[in-house]
Amino acid sequence: KDRLQSIALERVSFAYTPGEPVLREVSFTAQQGQTVALVGPTGAGKTSVLNLLQRFYDPDSGRIRINGVDLRHWDIRRLRGMTALVTQEPVLFSATLRENIFARPDQADEATVTRILQAAHCEALVQRLPLGLDTHLEKGGASLSSGERQLITIARALARDAQLILLDEATSYIDSQTEAVIHKALHNLIAGRTCVLVAHRLSTARSADRILVLHQGRVAEAGDHRQLMERRGLYWRLHRQ
Ligand code: CTP
Ligand code: MG
């Protein structure tokens, strides 16, 4: 199995439309097990960083390296195999809940299933559904709340034991109780894994090893929570809004 040691962006610039750059010379590194949080106003380029890390697009200039190797030289299936994406709009399959979480349900023993449901805080959901894990999710989970769908994608990422977690936190309104549950599930997902997370709630960014404040595609500030608060710049001002 591939081991992820490091990811690095080196002066990455990118435009969806030529002449309209959305990322400008963005650099950061994350070592195995570290979390980098991206914060900043809407349109700052946060999700675009995740798009580049999945190779939906390639940078116009600069480099992205994983384990020191240029991302363009990685086999795309190997890359996707070690990456789990937890998005704003989770996509569920019209299949059972079990099949939505475990790629090979027959290979997941009971102890593993229990551990993953616990870590992803999916137990209440499983109990609520008429056939539990074997409930068929109609229309990709249309009857579930967005918070529940997000917990399921967290369980899926745990089941795959992905090495690199790319997380785009939901902007949609969720009540504070659900938010707390998701927060705990995310904490379990991120622990010990390498993670690039787009944080809309500043509380999620707080414990990251490194926080980048993006502004108009540039890294305006970088540091951990304490350093950025002491700086009394953009990050500090975001907290006062
Ligand atoms: N953009 C674009 N084409 C796309 C995606 C995004 O032109 N396919 C533009 C957006 O309009 C925006 C810029 O790229 O001006 C950055 O977008 P994005 O990275 O998605 O911004 P975020 O920081 O993720 O914004 P939000 O907080 O709203 O998710
Ligand atoms: Mg976004």
- What's the pLDDT tens digit per position in 162-176? 999 999 987 667 788
Tell which wins on pLDDT, 167 or 87.
167
So what's the pLDDT on residue 197?
95
Average pLDDT over residues 47-67: 97
Give pLDDT, residue 41. 92
pLDDT recorded at residue 157: 94
- In the reported structure, the alpha carbon of residue 117 is separated from the centroid of ligand 1 by a whole-number distance in angstroms of 33
| pLDDT class of 179 with cuts at 50, 70, 90 | confident
Whether the predicted pLDDT of 43 surpasses 90: yes
Amino acid 73: pLDDT = 97
Mutation pick for ligand 1 pocket among 12, 39, 46, 50 (CB with most ligand atoms within 8 Å): 46
Least confident of 5-9, 40-44, 121-125, 179-183: 179-183
> Does residue 107 have a pLDDT over 90?
no
End-to-end CA distance of the chain: 45
Give me the pLDDT at residue 139, please.
Answer: 83
Mutate to test the pocket of ligand 1, among 13, 26, 48, 88 (most ligand atoms within 8 A of CB): 48
The residue-averaged pLDDT of 189-197 equals: 95
Lowest-pLDDT choice from 5-19, 102-116, 218-232:
102-116
Q: What is the mean pLDDT of the chain?
A: 93
Choose one of 16, 23, 200, 234 to mutate for the ligand 1 pocket test, by most ligand atoms within 8 angstroms of C-beta: 16
Say if residues 162 and 194 touch (Cβ distance below 8 Å). no
Pick the residue whose CA is nearest to atom 28 on ligand 1.
42
Q: Residue 145 — pLDDT band, cuts 50, 70, 90? A: confident
Query: Residue 196 C-alpha to ligand 2 middle, in angstroms?
Result: 13
Residue 200, pLDDT > 90, answer no
pLDDT at residue 215, rounded to an integer:
96
Q: Which ligand is nearest to the CA of 48?
A: 1
